[in-house]
Amino acid sequence: MSKKTIVRLAFYSSIILGLALLYRFDRAAVEKEIQSEIKNNETPFPVSRYKLEDVAVGINLYPPLVEKIERRVVVGGVVAHHLLVQNTIAEYFQYLSSFAYKRVILLGPNHGELGEKMVVTSTRPWDTPYGTVYSDQAVITGLSNCATNDPYPLENDHSLEVIMPFIKMYLPEAQVVPLMLSGRLKMDDIDALVSCLIPHLGQETLVLVSSDFSHYLKSSVAKQRDAETYALLKSWDVDRLITLNSDHLDSPPALVTLMELMQAVGTKDMEVFAHTDASIVSNNPFAATTTHYFLNFYVKR
């Protein structure tokens, strides 16, 4: 190779490198500007329904995994929002941290049936002790026919808020589509919501339900109710699941919505990550309890 050729190659290489650096700089500047606009235009939901110690113990026990799995496996899940089991919540999210999600569609119950609409959402970000979780504004805006942008119910319910610090810690690149569902939703309402959400089930999207299961029953009775719920899950009996109440679970509509979305992406494969009982965790076996299933819906490799 002649000296002139070497000089020419070096010259071209320096141009390519300069363009690459310029692209990275411009891209970073644009992303920073977009992030700044989000921060300036929206007031974050404050941390109001949990304390740092309510989430930090579990997070310290189960730090995020460093290695990411490129190919998505878990496409949907169920997680408790009862912070008594924060250790299991953190362990569950530690497992999810193996996957590089960019979006979390987060479904939860509207415990107080707040607001005028049966499906509510918000574009506002969420403050957490670990930083801010940002809502996916583009997706939420596109759901205007299916969900009402009303921050009041979300600010006054714990079902979604207490999950945000775990999302920030374990899925830091993910933006959230928060959806709070009324217990009055029927199958026709769910079908309409599912139709709106299907176009947003990309390769890096996780559909996650925040829900506890049996409420306020003795542990022995709660186990029976959990067995009944799990049997309906395994048989994919959404018509019976939607009729359940808090003896069985917090939010039948959220769970049925998840199942319909999982069917849309071509999977009915489900596994139990954990099954917990508040009376056992708190070492108070005779107290009325709340139970929790941690579930994963996955696509096979």
Of 30 and 263, the one with more pLDDT: 263
Output the pLDDT for position 69. Answer: 74
Q: Kindly report, residue by residue over 121-170, the tens digit of the pLDDT.
A: 999 999 999 999 999 999 999 999 999 999 999 999 999 999 999 999 99
Verdict on whether the full-model pTM lies above 0.95: no
Tokens 């979780």 label which residue? 133
- Residue 30 vs residue 233, higher pLDDT: 233
Distance separating alpha carbons of residues 63 and 97, to the nearest angstrom? 9
Residue 80 belongs to domain with CATH number:
3.40.830.10
Q: Are residues 9 and 71 in the same domain?
A: no
Same domain, residue pair 291 and 229 = yes
Same-domain status, 22 and 66: no
Q: Which two tokens mark 19? A: 């363009």
Residues 93 and 16 in one domain: no
Please indicate, yes or no, whether residues 20 and 150 belong to a single structural domain of this protein.
no
Ramachandran angles phi, psi of 141, nearest 5°: -60, -35
**Same-domain check for residues 22 and 68:** no
Residue 121: what pLDDT? 97
* Span 59-75, pLDDT tens digits: 999 999 988 776 658 99
Number of domains in the chain: 2
User: Which residues pair with residue 272 across a beta bridge?
Assistant: 295
Shared-domain flag, residues 126 and 161: yes
- More confident call, 135 vs 20: 135
Residues 205 and 147 placed together within one structural domain of the fold: yes
- Above 90 in pLDDT, residue 8? no
Instruction: Identify the pLDDT of residue 15.
Output: 31
For residue 32, the enclosing domain spans 1-41
User: What does the CA dihedral 15, 21, 25, 31 come to, rounded to 10 degrees?
Assistant: 110
Query: Shortest CA distance to 257 belongs to which of 270, 238, 273, 231?
Result: 238
Specify whether 3 is located in the same domain as 79: no
Q: Is the pLDDT of residue 100 over 70?
A: yes
Q: What 3-state class would DSSP assign to 206? A: strand
* Cα–Cα distance, 215 to 226 (Å, whole number): 10
Q: Are residues 54 and 28 in the same domain?
A: no
**pLDDT surpasses 70 at 179:** yes
Residues 9 and 90 in one domain: no
37 and 126 together in one domain:
no
